[in-house]
Amino acid sequence: MSKSAFRGGRDNAAIIENVEKLTGQRGDGLDRAMTLRELHSLGLVSVSRGARGRLRVQPVSQPTRDGEYTNKPVSIPDAPSQFEAHGGFGAIMLEWSRPTYSGHGYTEIWRADVDDISAADIVATVTATVFGDIVSPGSTYFYWCRHININDKPGPYHDRSGLEASTSGELGNIIDDVSEQLQSSPLVTELSGAIATINEEGSQAYRDMWSYKAQIGDITAGIGILADSEGRSQVAVSASQFFVFDPNNGQAIAPAFAIDEGNVVIPKAMIERATIQILNAQTIVADEVKAGISLTSPKLKTSVIEGGQAGFGVGGPYGGYHTRISMDGSIETSRLFMRSNQSSSRLEINGDKLQAFNGNQLAVVLGKLE
């Protein structure tokens, strides 16, 4: 324990020495007392008088690194919660709950090829609660996230194990793989060939394969089933059109499923999970719509927009826009117009001028005078 800088005792010498230290007349000045007047002049406290003339002292909010004001102490960050990943084709979207601890600064995103935090590298620092990581199709990564407070003190990761996320492979490559399997299939070869005389009993080569074909001129159609010792089981249909319909439907016959000139037609479908590279739709009704990279629309209607940043007025000095709202909540604009109300007495801010009107008569102008 350090020794007290003040002298004990109630004698005059002790009192005089302590008063001189408190007023800075003795010692190195580190023990000098700070008065309310000095704290007020430094902007650290606000001083006002109550109804009976008593002073009321309150601390003044101090700016943080991001320019925000807070009276709350800065806390050690909590572990991120509800950390989720959604893989598309060329991006993985990550999202997490809004941090609630005091003094939040930003969030770090770490990524690795394996589920090992020591092998992870930081890929982003964001102030929002979503991040889109642009990766190659068919990729798999593990992710970790943690919060950092305004004093650059990190909190714990969301979990020791990484969050695994994958993007879908290129559908063109998948289609090519299926095409190669079709070309190498003996069943498809059988259905593609011309009809020839076949022994009714069938040879050994056909005992594990059944097929039926019809042909008129150069037009053929057929169906076949194959099971071989290599573990393959295939059902193939050779036709330019394929229909599935309900014969017990009393109404007009309509296909429940059809293939016509390479296009699949499904009037109604219930699909638990689907991977679609290009979706053209007239109406989409969904509980959630997530976009990993961008969402483009000429008109957007919503009640709440959380996180992210926005830019308006192309061609301005703030990231290419005249007005920009950053992720930290700051607003930058080169085209400001504000009217306090529509009455004859109002306050207007227009560009580099502030005008006060009284009875529609200009009373005060601050800024650029014309």
Give the residue-averaged pLDDT of 111-121: 93
Per the document, the length of the chain is 370
CA distance 233 to 210: 12
In DSSP terms, 362 is beta-bridged to: 357
Average pLDDT value over all residues in the chain? 75
Q: Which is more confidently placed, 311 or 69?
A: 311
Q: Tokens 């002298």 map to which residue?
A: 7
Q: Which is more confidently placed, 84 or 264?
A: 84
Give residue 45's region: left, alpha or beta (phi > 0; psi -120 to 50).
beta
The pLDDT value recorded for residue 252 is 63
Per DSSP, the three-state class of 36 is helix
Amino acid identity, position 304 = V
The pLDDT value recorded for residue 2 is 55
Six-digit token string for 9: 């005792």
The pLDDT value recorded for residue 79 is 94
What pLDDT digit, counting tens, does each position of 226-273 carry? 777 777 788 788 877 777 777 677 666 667 777 777 777 777 777 767
Per DSSP, the three-state class of 244 is strand
Six-digit token string for 108: 């770090």
Query: pTM to 2 decimals?
Result: 0.49
Which residue segments constitute the domains of the chain, with CATH numbers given? 12-63 (no CATH), 84-170 (2.60.40.10), 337-367 (no CATH)
What pLDDT digit, counting tens, does each position of 156-196 carry? 999 999 999 998 877 666 666 656 665 666 655 665 555 45
Per DSSP, the three-state class of 180 is helix
Q: Which is more confidently placed, 14 or 160?
A: 160
What pLDDT digit, counting tens, does each position of 331-361 carry? 888 777 777 677 777 777 777 777 788 877 8
